[in-house]
Amino acid sequence: MEFADDVQPVPAADEALVRVEAFSPNRGETFLLENPRPGLVPGKDVAGLVVQAAADGSGPPIGTRVVGHPAKGGWAEYVAVPTHSLAVLPGAVDAVRAAALPLAGITALRLLRAAGGVAGRRVLLTGASGGVGHYLTELAAGAGAEVTAVTATARRGERLRALGAAAVVHDVAGARGPFDVVLESTGGAALPVALAKLAAGSTLIWFGQASRTPVTLDFFDFFTGPEGSAIRHFHYAGAPYGEDLATLVRLVDSGRLHPEIDRVEDWGRTARTLVDLRERRIRGKAVLTTGAGR
């Protein structure tokens, strides 16, 4: 990856032009760089200042601090963001924490909605040390769930306990079920093991494949395992995002949600950060700052 000059984006009528103060790359976005299409500018998680309001009158006015979730283009000084995917930032929420919210936070919110009411239910969460996992742990525990988080190291497990996890294990096989809900993001060999931890008639929601290893399932395992259970596929995407972003901002502002940011760097160090993110050397989120807010 290298820096390049480009023309400033020209927003559509329903888009605001945002001067980016901070952006947060996601591990999945690093895979786009394996075989990038010409002109690719990734970037879906941004925070900054509106410098041009939407021409159709929707969205915030010039000078408003915002967090946004554009489809692309956020790894830049300026990005055009649909106003339906922006949320206004209160003064107490800085751009660094805000930039860490969109994709991971929206995914966590929508996963919990897909799971239904979790109060009093036993929840198993795999791949818990990533950005989504930290948000899910805190949100689910705050809603009354008994969360067992799976993470590779004791250091990462300590933080998950602080966020509300009732138990932390370092391998999914060590989780003590049965569980009412399994939220599975690892794939590979972990998914069948997690599936076997379900209570009868319960649900596994599959929302990622961080291992990048295909899953093999034996249908006959259901006969001796969680009979009547279900597997659901989940993908967070689907605009508008503004309402969910506003919810996340409100939770952060009220002290009920704490973005787990392992690294804050100047965007001149983006390449190194992307490598470390891809190789899973970053706990939670990484945020790059452009210097625009100084």
> Is pLDDT at 220 greater than 80 in this prediction?
no
| Residue 146 domain flag | yes
| Residue 59 domain flag | yes
Contact between 164 and 144 (Cβ < 8 Å)? no
> Is pLDDT at 238 greater than 90 in this prediction?
yes
Same domain, 81 and 123: no
Same domain, 63 and 115: no
Look at residue 70 in the predicted model and tell me its pLDDT. 97
Look at residue 44 in the predicted model and tell me its pLDDT. 96
Same domain, 112 and 81: no
| Residue 267 domain flag | yes
Six token digits for residue 255: 């002290």
Task: Give the separation between CA 102 and CA 43, rounded to whole angstroms.
Answer: 11
| Residue 251 domain flag | no
Determine the average pLDDT of the residues in 62-91: 97
Same domain, 216 and 129: yes
Same domain, 94 and 112: no
b/e string for 218-242 if b means 16 or more Cβ within 10 A? eeeebeebbeebebeebebeeeebb
Q: What is the CATH number of the domain that holds 194?
A: 3.40.50.720
| Residue 30 domain flag | yes
Task: Give the separation between CA 166 and CA 222, rounded to whole angstroms.
Answer: 27
Same domain, 221 and 283: no
Q: Enter the pTM of the model.
A: 0.93
Task: Give the separation between CA 267 and CA 289, rounded to whole angstroms.
Answer: 5
Q: Is the previous residue joined to 82 through a cis bond, with omega within 30 degrees of 0?
A: no
Same domain, 168 and 91: no
Same domain, 79 and 32: yes
Task: Give the separation between CA 67 and CA 162, rounded to whole angstroms.
Answer: 26
Same domain, 114 and 228: yes
pLDDT bracket for residue 294 (50, 70, 90):
low
Q: Which domain holds residue 29?
A: 15-101+259-289
**Lowest mean pLDDT across 34-43, 138-147, 170-179:** 34-43
Q: Are strands 86-88 and 46-52 parallel, antiparallel or unpaired?
A: unpaired
Same domain, 180 and 281: no
The residue among 218, 233, 248 that closes a domain is 233
Same domain, 160 and 194: yes
3-class SS string, 94-112: CHHHHHCCHHHHHHHHHHH
| Residue 200 domain flag | yes
> Is pLDDT at 113 greater than 90 in this prediction?
yes
Contact between 132 and 260 (Cβ < 8 Å)? no
- Per-residue pLDDT tens for 29-48? 888 888 888 878 899 999 99
Q: Which residue has the tokens 């036993």?
A: 122
Six token digits for residue 101: 């919210």
Q: State the sign of the Cα–Cα–Cα–Cα dihedral 14, 20, 21, 25.
A: positive
Helices 102-115 and 242-253, axial angle in degrees (round to 10): 100
More confident residue, 279 or 138: 138
| Residue 92 domain flag | yes
- Tally the C-alpha atoms within 13 A of residue 28's C-alpha that lie toward its C-beta: 15
Same domain, 129 and 169: yes
Tell me phi and psi for residue 202, to 5 degrees: -100, -170
| Residue 268 domain flag | yes
Count of domains forming the chain? 2
